């Protein structure tokens, strides 16, 4: 049994803070947990904090992109926050650009972006 | 053939006239350097070197100076080459420092057939030692060049904070991949450190933009975007815009502006809009 | 590419049979990269490449061995890593090294992406297995 990454709920936002070096199985588990929790809680936003991650390879990168797509289908916006400069430079070189994934510099800015997105959505509604 | 007899004779000859030989040696070298080093300094340097050589030779004339007994000589020569290289002397001038001893000894030793043989052996040793100085000289110069290149890299990429939430890099000179790495790393780190959401890379000082440079700029833009910041390229001069279009360079998703002022204005507008909606969100 | 593996005095290795082993191999490479004085960006690139190649080896080669060692060449210091498996080998190397081509369920960036992240890349494949060797230099 591998460890699972905890998914925290704050209001209508789900917060995932990845603190350990990810094993592939944990990545897959997280993807499953997240979609379950979005449905169960009716969350409108998901923030994935990767500021503690020293590397993001194509597998984790793909998980981030897939999560963004899945949560969008389920009516929630995903924002990836805190990517380290070295990680961003490596991903670019690797050929990954995470198109379609919203990003923010840190948790605070991520929450701000979520709020703005929700505001503009309710404006339109 | 380097018999013990030869060794003894050479050591004796060298020891007997030590002061005379070193003085001549220093003088010969001093002449070739045309007074750029003081004679006191030269006599001290060559005195030490001479003694070390005599001591090493006393253990047997080796054909080359790479043996164990020449360790002391080598370390003196390496020191000499390094200081010469730093002072801007040429490799020839450095090597001459060693070769000049041949000039001094030639008339002294070649009087007899036996002496000539000893001299030839000794000369070969000196040739080898002079090669060592050239090698060391080049090595030192290379080290100086690479450390200067590194300093230049650091100097040429200042990342400045333009406004709250906006940082900028004025790029000057050619943009190769090593430079891009440094610029990118510094810029992205500054975004994190200053919590800035906007970056402007100004290429007014970049002489040419080709496919490769565009590629480097694109990488920077994409990396910043993945971190949650927006990066704009400004300072596209008319000629550069023309080349870009004429060459069909793919600028793709790179947000560009003609001047730094334009880019800054847009960044500020956006920062302001964000702040406004943040305030509205609180009400 | 120089035979860094044979030249090196101290080679550390990790046998890779599970996902957890890939993490272990990654950590071994990171420790070496740090002690060799690679910059943070270089470290990250090397470890990411190791992660891609380690996973490749597990998925396509059925696991294998990761060996790594610090290497020195003149003034340069670097890290050498070898990934060796006894899998079926790669049929079309050109294709496998193409961006976006995948035989598994990845993004098809494993081999080609890893190649871009390092300074030296050497691929040796046949019916008795595949060996990939990479080197990342400090400067």
pLDDT in tens, A11-50: 999 999 998 888 889 999 999 999 999 999 999 999 999 9
CATH number at residue C69: 3.30.565.10
Q: Which chain A residues are closer than 8 Å to B191 by Cβ?
A: 85, 105
CB within 8 A of C7, min separation 6: which ones?
C71
Give the pLDDT confidence of C29-64 residue by residue, as tens digits.
999 999 999 999 999 999 999 999 999 899 888 999
- Asked if B26 and B123 sit in the same domain, the reply is yes
Is C6 contained in some domain? no
- Asked if B210 and B234 sit in the same domain, the reply is yes
8 Å CB contact between A27 and A61:
no
Cβ separation A85–B219 shorter than 8 A: no
Domain that holds residue B27: 4-151
Q: How many domains does chain C have?
A: 1
The vertex-A92 CA angle with A89 and A94, nearest 5°, equals: 110
Number of alpha carbons in the 13 Å side-chain half-sphere of residue A21: 17
Q: Which chain B residues are closer than 8 Å to A115 by Cβ?
A: 277-278, 281
User: Please, which pLDDT band fits residue B282 given cuts at 50, 70 and 90?
Assistant: low
Instruction: Tell whether A86 lies on the interface with B, counting CB pairs under 8 A.
Output: yes
Task: Read off the tokens for B133.
Answer: 């100085």
CATH number at residue B92: 1.10.490
Is C123 contained in some domain? yes
The residue-averaged pLDDT of B33-56 equals 83
User: Please, which pLDDT band fits residue A3 given cuts at 50, 70 and 90?
Assistant: confident
Is C86 contained in some domain? yes
Nearest CB partner across the interface for A24, out of C27, C41, C55: C55
Among B44-58, B268-282, C48-62, whose mean pLDDT is lowest?
A: B268-282
Is C5 contained in some domain? no
For residue B245, give Cα distances in angstroms to B187, B209, B258. Answer: 27, 11, 15
Is C3 contained in some domain? no
Residue C93 vs residue C122, higher pLDDT = C122
CATH number at residue B193: 3.30.750.24
- Asked if B116 and B248 sit in the same domain, the reply is no
Would the pLDDT of B19 be above 50?
Answer: yes
Cβ separation B227–A91 shorter than 8 A: no
Q: Please give, rounded to a whole number of angstroms, the shortest distance from the CA of C18 to a CA of chain A.
A: 10
d(C-alpha B84, C-alpha B95), whole Å: 10
Nearest CB partner across the interface for B281, out of A103, A104, A119: A119
- The DSSP letter of residue A23 is P
- Asked if B232 and B100 sit in the same domain, the reply is no
User: Where is the domain boundary, B96, B130, B151?
Assistant: B151
d(C-alpha A45, C-alpha A47), whole Å: 7
- Asked if B28 and B108 sit in the same domain, the reply is yes
CA end-to-end span of chain C, whole Å? 18
- Asked if B134 and B265 sit in the same domain, the reply is no
A5 phi-psi bin (left φ>0, alpha ψ -120 to 50, beta other): beta
The reported pLDDT for the residue numbered B209 is 82
Cβ separation A93–C45 shorter than 8 A: yes
Report the residue of chain A nearest B190, measured CA to CA: A85
User: Where is the domain boundary, B98, B130, B151?
Assistant: B151
Q: Which chain B residues are closer than 8 Å to C75 by Cβ?
A: 143, 146
For testing contact with chain B, the best of C40, C41, C42 (most B CBs within 10 A) = C41
A116 phi-psi bin (left φ>0, alpha ψ -120 to 50, beta other): alpha
CATH number of A7-124: 3.30.750.24
User: Where is the domain boundary, B151, B172, B199?
Assistant: B151
Instruction: Tell whether A124 lies on the interface with C, counting CB pairs under 8 A.
Output: no
Task: Read off the tokens for A27.
Answer: 């990545």
8 Å CB contact between C13 and C65:
yes
- Asked if B128 and B27 sit in the same domain, the reply is yes
- Asked if B20 and B111 sit in the same domain, the reply is yes
Mean pLDDT of all residues in chain B? 84
Q: Please give, rounded to a whole number of angstroms, the shortest distance from the CA of B251 to a CA of chain C.
A: 20
- Asked if B125 and B197 sit in the same domain, the reply is no
Would the pLDDT of B281 be above 70?
Answer: no
User: Please, which pLDDT band fits residue B259 given cuts at 50, 70 and 90?
Assistant: very high
Cβ separation A116–B274 shorter than 8 A: yes
Nearest CB partner across the interface for C41, out of B143, B146, B181: B181
Task: Read off the tokens for B57.
Answer: 């030779």
Cβ separation A110–B228 shorter than 8 A: yes
Residue ranges per domain, chain A?
7-124
Is C2 contained in some domain? no
Task: Read off the tokens for B113.
Answer: 């057939």
pTM: 0.76
- Asked if B62 and B171 sit in the same domain, the reply is no
Instruction: Tell whether C92 lies on the interface with A, counting CB pairs under 8 A.
Output: no
The residue-averaged pLDDT of A52-66 equals 92
- Asked if B203 and B181 sit in the same domain, the reply is yes
Q: Which chain C residues are closer than 8 Å to B185 by Cβ?
A: 41
Cβ separation C106–A93 shorter than 8 A: no
């Amino acid at each position: 049994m591998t460890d699972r990454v905890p998914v925290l709920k704050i209001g209508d936002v789900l917060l995932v803070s990845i603190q350990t070096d990810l094993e592939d199985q944990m990545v897959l588990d997280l993807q499953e947990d997240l979609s379950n929790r979005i449905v169960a809680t009716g969350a409108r936003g998901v923030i994935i904090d990767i500021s503690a991650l020293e590397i993001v390879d194509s597998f984790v990168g793909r998980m981030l992109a897939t999560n963004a797509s899945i949560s969008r289908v389920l009516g929630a916006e995903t924002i990836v926050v805190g990517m380290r400069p070295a990680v961003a430079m490596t991903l670019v070189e690797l050929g990954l650009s995470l198109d379609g994934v919203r990003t923010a510099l840190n948790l605070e800015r991520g929450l701000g972006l979520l709020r703005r997105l929700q505001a503009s959505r309710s404006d339109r509604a | 053939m380097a018999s013990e007899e030869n060794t003894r004779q050479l050591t004796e000859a060298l020891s007997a006239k030590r002061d005379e030989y070193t003085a001549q040696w220093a003088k010969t070298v001093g002449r070739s350097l045309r007074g750029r080093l003081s004679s006191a300094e030269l006599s001290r340097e060559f005195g030490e070197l001479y003694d070390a050589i005599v001591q090493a030779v006393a253990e047997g004339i080796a054909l080359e100076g790479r043996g164990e007994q020449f360790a002391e000589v080598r370390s003196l020569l390496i020191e000499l080459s390094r200081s010469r290289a730093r002072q801007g002397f040429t490799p020839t001038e450095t090597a001459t420092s060693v070769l000049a001893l041949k000039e001094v000894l030639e008339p002294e030793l070649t009087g007899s057939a036996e002496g000539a043989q000893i001299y030839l052996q000794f000369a070969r040793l000196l040739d080898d030692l002079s090669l060592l100085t050239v090698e060391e000289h080049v090595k030192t110069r290379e080290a100086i060049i690479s450390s200067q290149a590194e300093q230049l890299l650091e100097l040429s990429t200042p990342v400045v904070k333009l406004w709250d939430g906006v940082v900028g890099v004025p790029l000057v000179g050619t943009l190769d991949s090593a430079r891009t790495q440094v610029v990118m790393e510094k810029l992205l780190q500054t975004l994190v450190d200053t919590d800035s959401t906007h970056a402007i890379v100004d290429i007014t000082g970049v002489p040419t933009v080709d496919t490769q440079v565009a590629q480097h700029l694109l990488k920077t833009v994409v990396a910043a975007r993945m971190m949650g910041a927006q990066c704009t390229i400004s300072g596209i001069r008319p000629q550069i815009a023309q080349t870009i279009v004429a060459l069909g360079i793919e600028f793709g998703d790179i947000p560009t502006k003609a001047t730094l002022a334009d880019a800054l204005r847009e960044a500020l507008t956006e920062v302001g809009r964000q702040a406004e909606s943040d305030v509205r969100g609180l009400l | 590419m120089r035979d860094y593996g044979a030249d090196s005095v101290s080679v550390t290795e990790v046998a890779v049979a599970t996902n957890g082993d890939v993490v272990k191999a990654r950590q071994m490479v990171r420790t070496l990269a740090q002690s060799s004085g690679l910059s943070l960006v270089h470290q990250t690139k090397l470890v990411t490449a190791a992660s891609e190649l380690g996973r490749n080896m597990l998925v396509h080669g059925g696991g294998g061995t990761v060996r790594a060692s610090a290497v020195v060449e003149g003034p340069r210091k670097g890290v050498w890593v070898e990934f060796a498996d006894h899998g079926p080998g790669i049929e079309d190397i050109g294709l496998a090294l193409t961006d976006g081509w995948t035989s598994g369920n990845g993004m098809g960036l494993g081999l080609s992406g890893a190649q871009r992240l390092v300074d030296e890349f050497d691929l040796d494949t046949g019916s008795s297995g595949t060996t990939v060797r990479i080197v990342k230099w400090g400067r």
